Amino acid sequence: MANKGSRPAHDPGCYLCANNKRASGDTNPDYLDTFVFVNDFAALTKDEFSIQPSASPLFQAESINGECRVICFSPRHDLTLAEMPVEKISNVVSLWTDQYAELSTQYEWVQIFENKGSVMGCSNPHPHGQIWASSSIPTLALKEESSMASYFERAGTPMLQSIVDEEIRSGERIVELTEHWLAIVPFWAVWPFEILLLPRISVPTLNELTPDVELDLATILSRLLIRYDNLFETSFPYSMGWHNAPGNSSQPNAWTVHAHFYPPLLRSATVKKFMVGYEMLGEPQRDITPEQAAKMLRDVSSVHYKHS
């Protein structure tokens, strides 16, 4: 069995723990729940600057301004979302929606995400995520926007709503299903245990979630993340993030808010999926099918292995 971990509840050397000093010199408050602050090493700033246009049409760039924030999920240094009770995860969901509501009035794109685990480049194990709000919509979101708008024009319904309906009818790629949410290994998944998390009734953004749908989101997150951890009895690494309808979307009703989960593990807690060789030069290939991955996740216990 994997090591159950030995991190302290409070680490005096952690810049995310309560009452500790950060790189900026600021001291964190004695927070008891969630906590948000401006990233001390922000990739985006509010300052606007100009870029001299290139003489060549092959090499063009534009400036982007924005804000980067860090969101602490809990003051407990020794926890992850998978180990937090549903009511505490619900506080994180409320934080996501509040931050989105604020930043989406100022920026075209608000990217809420979490990198979990050192294998995903996370240097601090304290439970936390980030928000990058930007004046420009990133490339992958633009591709989703184009696909969703095209489908909506043809079918008259949001593409992801159609996928929800088809997946519920089939059931073979479902990992978790609650009253208001669906977690599937998508048909097009690249990573072995990739997850697409969707509301069962389409809404464009987190702002449109009703209180009962928000609470149910905390429930399905808890169940999904426990299954992740239980699969290989390890604190399962991943990158996850929310995609909302862009601020200047030409077809906001074509959008369904959704979250992507991209975990790198393949066959065990130590065997990682690598995108190399043919996958970098040609196209990705799957080591297991989406249906096999979904079944493996469904078959593990819904009680966290640390508590079983």
pLDDT digits (tens, 9 = 90+) for 238-291: 999 999 999 888 888 999 999 999 999 999 999 999 999 999 999 999 999 999
Confidence (pLDDT) at 249: 81
Q: What letter represents residue 136's amino acid? A: S
Confidence (pLDDT) at 1: 33
Distances (CA, A) of 63 to 38, 66, 74, 137: 20, 10, 34, 12
Classify residue 1: in a domain, yes or no: no
Confidence (pLDDT) at 5: 54
Distances (CA, A) of 219 to 176, 179, 244, 281: 10, 10, 20, 40
Which parts of the chain have pLDDT scores under 50? Answer: 1-4
128 noted as active-site residue: yes
Classify residue 72: in a domain, yes or no: yes
Q: What is the CATH number of the domain that holds 292?
A: 3.30.428.10
CB 71 within 8 A of CB 41: no
Confidence (pLDDT) at 131: 98
* Residue whose entry in the numeric block shows the structure tokens 């991190």: 7
Classify residue 4: in a domain, yes or no: no
Confidence (pLDDT) at 52: 83
Confidence (pLDDT) at 281: 95
Classify residue 76: in a domain, yes or no: yes
CB 234 within 8 A of CB 248: no
For residue 10, give both structure tokens.
């409070």
Q: Is the pTM of this model over 0.85?
A: yes
Domain tally for the chain?
1
Classify residue 114: in a domain, yes or no: yes
Catalytic-role residue among 128, 180, 243, 260: 128
Which pairs count as long-range contacts for 187-190, CB under 8 Å and 24+ apart, including other chains? 187/290, 189/286, 189/290, 189/293, 190/275, 190/284, 190/286
Range of the domain at 232: 35-50+62-299
Q: Secondary structure of the chain in the HEC alphabet?
A: CCCCCCCCCCCCCCCCCCCCECCCCCECCCCCCCEEEECCCCCCCCCCCCCCCCCCCCCCCCCCCEEEEEEECCCCCCCCHHHCCHHHHHHHHHHHHHHHHHHCCCCCEEEEEEEECHHHCCCCCCCEEEEEEECCCCHHHHHHHHHHHHHHHHHCCCHHHHHHHHHHHHCCCEEEECCCEEEECCCCCCCCCCEEEEECCCCCCHHHCCHHHHHHHHHHHHHHHHHHHHHHCCCCCEEEEEECCCCCCCCHHHCCCEEEEECCECCCCCCECCCCCHHHHCCCCCCCCHHHHHHHHHHCCCCCCCCC
CB 32 within 8 A of CB 142: no
Classify residue 55: in a domain, yes or no: no
Q: What is the mean pLDDT of the chain?
A: 94
